[in-house]
Every structure is written in structure tokens, then in C-alpha cells.
Chains A and B, each alone.
Chain A
Amino acid sequence: MAYFLQQLINGLTLGAIYGLIAIGYTMVYGIIGMINFAHGEIYMIGAFVALIATLALTSLGITSAPLLLLLVIAAAMAIAGLYGWTIERAIYRPLRASPRLTLLISAIGLSIFLQQYVQLAQGGRVKTLPPLIPGGFTLMTDASGFAVGISNFQIVVFVLTILLMTGLTLIINRTELGRAQRAAAADPLMAALCGIDVDRTISTTFVIGAALAAVAGVMVVFYYGVIDFFIGFLAGLKAFTAAVLGGIGSLPGALLGGLLLGLVESFWAAYADAAYKDVAAYGILVLVLIVRPSGLLGRPEIEKV
């Protein structure tokens, strides 16, 4: 029971991270119908920026953990957001009228490019960082002495995710920007005719998605303490699976899908074979697409003939 609870906590933490990345996929897909294959690389870049920023700030004498965390998140969000903006303007916008597969292939090219760019710039080896906010709480101890604990940083992850999700939902539902976003996602031509700057809305979508992925990157750096240039590919596929599972185009779906995927992965690694946990994730993707392509919270798409 205790072991189960621990896996539950760990799974939800992992799931929150996947969810934050998945939101970027789902928002971009919802508004321009494209799978941004390079999104995972933005997350990876966010992680690297977080690591570098931490080292830089620490060397400048900033040691207070909360302040450091805040500054690092701000830096990662800003820089990843700029990467997202640049990518949209320079690469995807000129291709917007192209068929889906053309966009997908350029996204793949971009993903490879970014991976190699980071590998060349920072070296191919794994980078490590000692935990920023060590310690935690023991929730309970069972009969055999196994302690179920929640680390301080896990609490940070949950709090941050809730804050960001709330903030994002508020933006989408209450602000002008959010309205524009929903309109453009539903019908770009009509939205443009109503005076909405669809280009700018799309840019903003990319930036928001990138910023959230960057936060996920920050969390990975501090939670796991290990990153390399290839984490984007794997996390990207899984986050995409999460977005599909939750229903592509649905924001709460992305988070839900992420949490579920995180749980499945943790439990699989704990109770079944850890080596095959990635296969479990891919298996979910295939299953969802075959059985219920609209996902848990999505609406079924009807093909217009």
C-alpha cells in the first residue's frame, strides 16, 4: 500500500511535467492543425537554459532557493518563449498554407536541427545538477518500515502546475487574448473577418506553449538533476501521446492525459519491467488512436467530403 502511494505521488509529479509539455502540443494543434514535432526540443532547451541560468546566478551570489527558482523560471520561460516565437515566424508561418505532411516534415527537420545545435553547443554528455530544494515530508510509514514521502520539490511542482493551469484557464476564458485564441482555433477565416489578428494570436499560442514547456524543463532539471540533448525527443513523443489521450485541442485534456501517462509509466516501471516503460507509453498512443481518436475529453472530428 505504501509502495503504491509512493508510486502514485511520483507518477503524478511526472504526469504534471508531461502535462505542461502536452499543453503546448494541444494548443498549437487546436489553432493551426499541425503537430509541432519540434516542441519537445523547446522543452529540452528550457531545461538547458534553466541549468545554465542556475549556475550563472549562483556564481553571482544568489543562493536563496525561492529567489533562484523564480529567476530561473522567468529566464527559461522568456528565452524558450522567444525560441517559440522565432520558430513560428521563421519556419512555420511561411509554410502555413502547405499540406499537413509538408509541415510535419519541416517540423521533424527542425527538431533534428535543434537537437544537434544543442549537442554541438553544449556537448553530447549528460549534465547533472545537485538538488536545489532538498528534503521533504514523510507522509506515512507502513508496517515494513517503508516510508511514503513527498519531497519539497514535488510540492513545488504541484503548486506550480496548479498555478499555471489556473492562470492559463483564466487567460483563455476571461481575456480578449483567450477569446481571440478560441475564435481562431474554431474558424481562422471567420476570426480574421471579425477583426482578430490571427497571425498574432498564433504567435502568442506558440509563445505560451513554449513557456509552459520551459517550466517543465526547469522542473526536470531540479527534480531529476540529469539532462542531455536527447530528452526532448522522448518527452516530446510522450507529451504528444498525453495530448492525444486527453483529446487533442482540449487544455484540461492535455493535463489529464499527462497525469494519466505519468501514472501509467510510474506504475509500469514499479510493478512490471522498467526497461519497457517507454513501450507502454507508445502502446497507449496506438491504442487511443485506434479505439478513440478523439481522446478522453475531445470532440469527434467529422471529415467533410
Chain B
Amino acid sequence: MTAILTIDGLTMRFGGLTAIDAVSFEVRPAAITALIGPNGAGKTTLFNCVTGFYRPTKGGIRLNRAGGPVQLAGLPNHRIARLGVARTFQNIRLFGRMTVLENLLVAQHAELMRASLFSIAGILGLPRYRKAEAQAIETARHWLDRVGLTARANDPADTLPYGDQRRLEIVRAICTGPRLLCLDEPAAGLNPRESADLAALIRAISAELDLAVLLIEHDMSVVMGISDHIVVLDYGRKIAEGPPAAIRADKAVIAAYLGEPEDAVA
């Protein structure tokens, strides 16, 4: 099975600081890959490189798609999103004063622009746009029902409680029709019950849509519960990789998170 995303020798330097040091791994299709590591390990930096918000210093990021592989490193962020890589953010970024529904409509802008001939058909009031918009609203409704936000569809996004905002951001990313979904700490700030619900949601969506998920997360219950594959970073380097059971027992990983015993410091 070919990977959907191949990261090869990725290095990111900011001035004198090396945030990511020659990291390589693969993200498999229709599976959930978790990226974990202590704070400052470089996880979000890696995300930013993959999604085009940073330009990597060295190395490659290859997206394997039906039309042939595409090198993502160096592409602008919106192009990467158009190629089917969607993401959420560590600090929730919603379109606050727009309604929940509108947030999901913005996500579907690509089809809507096509259907409206760059909005011209819309200005003229042509039916093809009205049909496309109705379709987009139905798609939005489907996902709102899925996450239980239908009742708040017409409320401004910034009036939602925190947990709902998180779910909205994920669903918005899904509405772009991605092939790879990158979630940056989706369970941050959620209580255990909400985290478990979220984990189940991600697992279910990944299975339903055959969607590859790359997940940064600190909440180990979520990570261990739903990941098919885990990659561990520490100080910008990959220190371990494998299925959850193997990672749980890996000495290097334990040392990174919990520190080494005093006498073991080399």
C-alpha cells in the first residue's frame, strides 16, 4: 500500500535554531497516524511545513495522488489545501462573526466558484448557482447533523462553546473534501468525556470517508485509542515509530516524556 504522504529528510531551520532535523516517515491512506512528542519537539512546525505555512529548509514532502505525485515543499499554502490537504489549528481559527453554516459554505468555495463561473452566474441570478448553493447547504447540514451542531447553524461561530468550536473547525476542514486531514491538537482543552467522543468521531469519519488523518495530540488516551501508527519526535528528531503497543513500551519515548533517571545521564 503506497503512502499518501511521504516525508523525506525534512529539515526546518529558523536562523540558528534547528526545529526539525532530517525527519522521515510515511502517512498511510485511510489510516490515522499520530505525531507525538514533548512540547517544542517540532510537531506543529512539521504541520506548518506540510501545509505550506513554512518553507522547509531542506527535504521533501511528497503527496501521492491519482494524477501522480506532487512535491509540496515550497508550494503556497492555499495550493496545498486545493490539492486535498486540510488542517485545523492549535488555537481555533474560525470565521467568528460568520455563522456556523457560513463557515461550512466558505469551505466549499471551490465548487461554488466553479458553479457560479467566478460568481458571475450568481450576479446574474442564474439557476445553476442557486442549485449549487442549495447542494452546498445540504452538505453542510449533513455534517452539522453528524456533530450535533444543527441547532446552532445560524449563530455566529464565536458564540459557540469551546468544544463545539473545535468540532466545527474539524467539520469545516472536512467540507473541503480532503484526502489528508491534519488535526493540530483537536482534543486540547476538552474534558475526558468530550475527548473520548472526539476520538470516536475521528475514527468513524476516517473509516466512512476512507480519509487519511495525521494527528498531533498530547492526550494519550486519544492517541493510543484510535491511532493505527505513531511517530514520536523529540528536539526535532524522530526517535521512534510504530503501532501504539510498541510505542508505549519504547524506552526512548518514555525517557523523552518522563526524563531519564539521574544516574543514567551519559
Contact = CB atoms under 8 A, between A and B. Distances in A.
Interface of A: 299, 302-303, 305
A302 B89 CA distance: 17
Interface of A is mostly: loop
Interface in B82-102: 89
B14 A302 contact: yes
B48 A305 contact: yes
Most chain B CB within 10 A, of A299, A302, A305, is at A305
A279 B247 CA distance: 63
Nearest to A300: B15
Contacts of B14: 302
Interface in B1-55: 14-15, 44, 48, 53-54
8 contacts: A299-B15, A302-B14, A303-B53, A305-B44, A305-B48, A305-B53, A305-B54, A305-B89
Contacts of B54: 305
Contacts of A302: 14
Contacts of B48: 305
| B contact patch SS | loop
Interface residues of B, number: 7
A79 B68 CA distance: 69
Nearest to B53: A305
Contacts of B53: 303, 305
**Top 8 closest pairs, chain A to chain B, by CB:** A305-B53, A305-B48, A302-B14, A305-B89, A305-B44, A303-B53, A305-B54, A299-B15
Nearest to B89: A305
A186 to B, nearest CB: 14
B206 to A, nearest CB: 24
A98 to B, nearest CB: 15
A305 B14 CA distance: 14
Nearest to A303: B53
A175 B99 CA distance: 52
A299 B15 CA distance: 10
A192 B26 CA distance: 43
Nearest to A299: B15
Contacts of B15: 299
A190 to B, nearest CB: 16
A302 B48 CA distance: 12
A299 B16 CA distance: 13
Given A299-B15, A305-B48, A305-B53, 5 more contacts: A302-B14, A303-B53, A305-B44, A305-B54, A305-B89
Contacts of A303: 53
Contacts of B89: 305
Contacts of A305: 44, 48, 53-54, 89
Interface string B50-79: 000110000000000000000000000000
Interface string B182-224: 0000000000000000000000000000000000000000000
A305 B89 CA distance: 8
A11 B216 CA distance: 56
A299 to B, nearest CB: 8
A27 to B, nearest CB: 23
A302 B53 CA distance: 10
A41 B211 CA distance: 58
Nearest to A305: B53
B96 to A, nearest CB: 12
Contacts of B44: 305
Interface string B138-157: 00000000000000000000
Nearest to B15: A299
Nearest to B77: A305
A303 B55 CA distance: 12
A303 B54 CA distance: 9
A204 B64 CA distance: 56
Contacts of A299: 15
A187 to B, nearest CB: 16
A99 to B, nearest CB: 12
Interface in B156-191: none
B56 to A, nearest CB: 13
A299 B14 CA distance: 12
A302 B17 CA distance: 13
